[in-house]
Amino acid sequence: MNHFGASSIVMNPAEVARLVESLLFVSPEPLDLAQIARVLDVPRETVEAGLSLLSADAPRRGIHVQRLGDLLQLVSAPEAAPYIERLRGSEGVAKLSTAAMETLAIVAYQQPVTRARIEAIRGVNSDRALATLQARGLIAEVGRLETAGRPALFGTTFEFLQHFGLHDLGDLPPLPEDLEMLIEAPDSPNDSS
């Protein structure tokens, strides 16, 4: 007997895929992989196998599985966005400014990253761009740096993945070499605040 009072059964990946899809469909929040394994009473590896099948099959039905670390959520296909916006009456939503896009790119490729590091890369104050990105739900504070002043660390969100039609951060395109060198440059002594 498992902790739900039912006998543990062996499930094949196709059965797990169907159940994972159902759990993700009804959950208003992203679900943790360990939580799904507990609910289904199967090993993590079995959930991963089911997720592989679900991720491969879902796009032909107009949905995608997004993954951020061990968090998962079900989202609509990126190509459906204009129709969903029309349905929701949110057509013509304001575009991101150049400053916000620069800041977002730095967060996406450097996360977790401090405001000071972002400003060191951009060469200008980024408070407004960070506030805009947080208000739009594209970035969030994901922790604090263990240094003097404990500055906030920023990372991308599920909304970021959805906005840009990404399944996970591995779908980010590679940076051009000249930008990669700029972003990967070591911190200067004064940008740790």
Please give the order of strands across the beta sheet that includes 31-32. Answer: 31-32, 71-76, 63-68
Q: What domains sit in the chain, N to C, each tagged with a CATH number?
A: 13-80 (1.10.10.10), 98-184 (1.10.10.10)
- Whether pLDDT at 190 is above 50: no
DSSP string for residues in 108-125: HHH-SEEHHHHHHHHSS-
Taking only the tens place, the pLDDT of each residue in 6-26 is 445 678 889 999 999 999 999
Query: Phi/psi at 155 (nearest 5 deg)?
Result: -145, 170
Write down how long the chain is.
Answer: 193
Taking only the tens place, the pLDDT of each residue in 123-172 is 899 999 999 999 988 999 999 988 888 999 999 998 888 888 788 888 89
> What pLDDT score does 159 carry?
86
> What pLDDT score does 134 carry?
93
Confidence class for position 91, pLDDT limits 50, 70, 90: low
Average pLDDT over residues 173-183: 74
CA distance 189 to 175: 25
> What pLDDT score does 177 carry?
76
- Whether pLDDT at 116 is above 70: yes
Average pLDDT over residues 54-74: 87
C-alpha 75, offset from chain centre:
12
Q: Dihedral of CA 120/126/131/136: which sign?
A: negative
Confidence class for position 1, pLDDT limits 50, 70, 90: very low
The lowest-confidence range among 4-18, 100-114, 168-182 is 4-18
Taking only the tens place, the pLDDT of each residue in 30-42 is 999 999 999 999 9
**Whether the Cβ atoms of residue 131 and residue 118 lie closer than 8 Å to each other:** no
To which residue do tokens 């939503």 refer?
Answer: 93
| pTM: predicted TM-score of the whole model, two decimal places | 0.60
> What pLDDT score does 59 carry?
78
